[in-house]
Each structure stands twice: as C-alpha cells, then as structure tokens.
Structure 1
Amino acid sequence: MPPDGRLVLVGAPLGNPRDASDRLRDTLSAADIVAAEDTRRLTRLTRDLEITVPGRIVSYFEGNEEQRTPDLVAAILDGKLVALITDGGMPSVSDPGYRLVRATLDAGAPVTAAPGPSAVTTALALSGLPCDRFCFEGFLPRSGGARRSRLRALAAEERTLVFFEAPHRVAGTLDDLAATFGADRPAALCRELTKTYEEVLRRPLGELAGWAAEGEPRGEITLVVGGAPPTAAPRPDDDELRAEVAEREAAGASRRDAISAVADAYGLRRRDVYALVHTPPPAR
C-alpha cells in the first residue's frame, strides 16, 4: 500500500464553527476524498471557515455506508487520504464511522483522528453531575416497550448516564426515565450545545418530564442522568462487624477509620458501629 493512504476521522464543531480546529482545516484541505454525513452541512462549514476542499466530496450516511465502504477502503489502499466527517462531534459516536473504521483496519490500513468537540463530554461537563465515571448509551430504542426494557436494565447503574434523544421523543423518554429511575433522580437536559440558543436545564427527572410535556423542545438534545445510589451490602451480624473492624485495624487502619469504613460499607451509622465495637459481646 502506498505510504500516504489512510483514514482520518475528523471531529466537527457541534454548531459553532469557531470550535473548528486547525487540524480540521488542514485535513479537509489536504484530503483526496472527504466522506461527509451531509454534504450540504460540509459545504456550509467550509464556507464559514473560508476554506476550500479540493478533493472529491462523497456522501456517507446510514443509508449508504454499507455500499460505499468498500470503495473508500479501496481508495485508501490505493494511497488516498480519506477524511470522514459527520454533522457534529466525532464520527462513530452514534454517527456513521464504525463500519468504515473496522473495514479499514481489517484491510491493514492506518486510521487516525483529528479530534474535536464531542456532545457527550460537553454535556457531561456542563451537567453538574459526577464526571469521574460515566456510561454513554447513545439513542434509546424508539418504541416505548423496548425503551422501558432498556431503562430497567440500567436502573441500578451507579455511573452517570449520557443519552442522545430526538426532540419529538424526549418527552416520552423523560417520562419513562422518571418512572423507572425515580422522579427525584438528578439530571440535566442539554439543548443546542455551543449554538446561539444553548440551554442546560439541571433538574430532577420528574421536573424535566413536566417541562418537556409543556411543548416539544427544539434542537439537538443530550440527556445526562445521575447514577443510582450505591447499594449497601447486607448487614453482617454483630460478631462479624466487630471482626471486620478488628481486621482493618490489624491491617494498619486506625480504629476510627476502620469503624467509618465498615459503617459506610453496610449503610450503618458510625456511632452505632462504634458502640458495637466498644460493647463486649455477650457471654455464651
């Protein structure tokens, strides 16, 4: 394979063209072929950025990616630089891209990225919810029964959850989320990120469901939902609790830290564990 042949995944602005990176500009200007989810959006973006795409532009979306992938891989193997760009964010993240990435790698050709904005991490950071551990679920099933079944499987997930949703389905999705996860579960609805009418509503699921029911929200929507509270392990009997505190002390923890750790592990009050440790077990 000629040395220049490769696939470049291009991270596109979510809505504000000023978020475009220099690498995006350079990659689009150098590509032999640009595969775009929507060629009209690509044209608008390049016009906003005042750049020219000298290479061939082809459409690459859910309806034609299966038939177009072999031709793009063949071009890469022939030494062409192929850039893949979707409407916003990184290709493959609930957008076309995975099929082409997999086929390119299977053909032994290199894949790289000109990374850029991501609605997932942008919404997560703006949500005010824990970001250290999260789970991206993409779009939920469209039918109510399948959607509720998926949500029941996620109800005990302790990581923060991120979903994409269409405006016309978001009210039903929020109703199902509130019914399955609980109306008090904290959440954030992020709408039109980075655009003129950006809006982030940080409210419990029940309140967001009520807000969405008043009228269909507009624009692209990302939902961020707080994880389920940790489930405490079953409470051991008193002797086992005393023994666990003693084991932690023997391992080097102070008695105070050992008591706190045991109390937290089983959802107990620390003063109760303290009293138990300082009360001799009954004679037998």
Structure 2
Amino acid sequence: MIRAALTSNVQVKVLPGPSAVTTALLLSGLPTDRFCFEGFPPRTKGARSNWFKDLATEERTIIFFEAPHRITESLEDAQTAFGSDRDAAVCREMSKHYEEVVRGSISELIDWAKSKDILGEITVVVEGFNPGTRQFSVEDLVKLVIKQEEAGESRKEAIAQVAKANKVSKRVVFDAMVAHKSGDKI
C-alpha cells in the first residue's frame, strides 16, 4: 500500500513507533514482509567493506544506522558490494521537524549525499538481494576468488566459498578462473 502511494506521488507520513527501524522501513516503500536490522557498519573502510560484502546476498530488506559524517563512504561501500541499481532509502531526522526521506538507487543516494552537508540521525534501508538479477563477469568472480586466496584459503576452498556466497555453481567460478589464467573470455 505504501509503495502504491509513493508511486502515485502521495506523501506518506508514519507515526513514530518504539523504533527508528520500523519507522524507516515503512517510510522507505521497500518490502516489509522480511527484514533484518544490522546496527551500525564498522567505522574502518576495510571492515565496513567486508561487512557490506557479507550482506550482498541477503534477500531480506536490510536496515542499518549510520553517522552523518560517514554516510557517503558507507553508501559507496554498499554500492561496491550490492551494485549501483539496488533500491534504497536514507531516512533522516524521522518524526522531527526536519524529517527527510530520500529514495532511489544506491548511486542516486551517493549523489544526494555528496551534494549536501548532512546532519542528524540516519537510518538506511536497502532492498534485499534478488538472486535472479545478478550477473557476474569473469572479472567479478576472479576478484572474489583472489580475495579469498589472499585471506589464506586454497584455490579449491576459495572457489567453493565464492560459488556459495554468490549462488552460482562451482563450475561457473572454476571456468572464470581458467579463462582468467589463459586470458580468454567466457
């Protein structure tokens, strides 16, 4: 119902409840049937990047908090892990006079965040992963395997983990590694 209202350009207001999580979820217009709350992303770039990568195939709507001075960096890391086109919403100062809800793709939200000084409490809501939409390039799969190998895993273990995490067959990942090694394209 909320999504239909937003599509028809009807402004939606939510009465504040006991949690910013549920208020932001409703304001986002994203699916509300299944969601997960992840708290704050880690503060350091490497840890935050890994945190988002771990959530890349989460199929439920993802909700997290972020500090205003880190919102751009977090959205950029989310874009790297989730892709540019995943729908999201940044909800700021909910139930207050300066309430703001910005909806769009992650790349659009990055542009918004870069265009202004952001203050206040921020809750971010991101659409869950749709297994049928992600296409992997040879380079994507190779980078993921190499990253696992750099973390100390064998090639076989790395291929298995990348396949499982990205819901593709081990054969697809293996073929990507063979093509990369020989310089061919699949």
How big is each residue's C-alpha offset from its partner over 1:21-76, in whole Å with a ceiling of 9 and x where there is no partner?
A: xxxxxxxxxxxxxxxxxxxxxxxxxxxxxxxxxxxxxxxxxxxxxxxxxxxxxxxx
What corresponds to 2:56 in structure 1? Answer: 155
Q: What are the equivalent positions in structure 2 for 1:93-242 lying under 5 Å apart?
A: 117-231=18-132
Distance (whole Å) between structure 1 residues aligned to residue 75 and residue 50 of structure 2:
14
Distance (whole Å) between structure 2 residues aligned to residue 161 and residue 141 of structure 1:
15
The one-letter code sitting in structure 2 at the alignment partner of 1:221 is: I
How big is each residue's C-alpha offset from its partner over 1:129-165, in whole Å with a ceiling of 9 and x where there is no partner?
A: 0000001001000001000001111101110000100
What RMSD, in angstroms, separates the aligned Cα atoms of the two structures?
1.6
Give the gaps of 5 or more residues in structure 2: 1-14, 134-186
Q: CA deviation at 1:117?
A: 2.0
Q: Tell me, what secondary structure is at the counterpart of 1:117? A: coil
Distance (whole Å) between structure 1 residues aligned to residue 116 and residue 45 of structure 2:
19
Distance (whole Å) between structure 2 residues aligned to residue 126 and residue 192 of structure 1:
12
Q: What are the equivalent positions in structure 2 for 1:76-91 lying under 5 Å apart?
A: none
Distance (whole Å) between structure 1 residues aligned to residue 82 and residue 117 of structure 2:
22
What corresponds to 1:106 in structure 2? Answer: none
The one-letter code sitting in structure 2 at the alignment partner of 1:174 is: L
Instruction: Decide which structure has the larger Cα Rg and report it.
Output: 1
Q: CA deviation at 1:231?
A: 4.3
CA contact (8 A) 1:171 1:216 kept: no
CA contact (8 A) 1:119 1:193 kept: yes
Q: What are the equivalent positions in structure 2 for 1:251-270 lying under 5 Å apart?
A: none
Distance (whole Å) between structure 2 residues aligned to residue 117 and residue 202 of structure 1:
23
The one-letter code sitting in structure 2 at the alignment partner of 1:225 is: V
How big is each residue's C-alpha offset from its partner over 1:177-220, in whole Å with a ceiling of 9 and x where there is no partner?
A: 11210110000000000000101011100010111112331110
The one-letter code sitting in structure 2 at the alignment partner of 1:205 is: I
Q: Tell me, what secondary structure is at the counterpart of 2:62? A: strand
Q: CA deviation at 1:174?
A: 0.6
Distance (whole Å) between structure 1 residues aligned to residue 121 and residue 108 of structure 2:
20
What corresponds to 2:177 in structure 1? Answer: none
Give the gaps of 5 or more residues in structure 1: 1-17, 20-115, 233-284
The one-letter code sitting in structure 2 at the alignment partner of 1:162 is: I
What corresponds to 1:61 in structure 2? Answer: none
Q: Tell me, what secondary structure is at the counterpart of 2:39? A: strand
For these two proteins, the number of residue pairs brought into alignment is 119
Provide the TM-score with structure 1 as the length reference.
Answer: 0.40
Provide the TM-score with structure 2 as the length reference.
Answer: 0.61
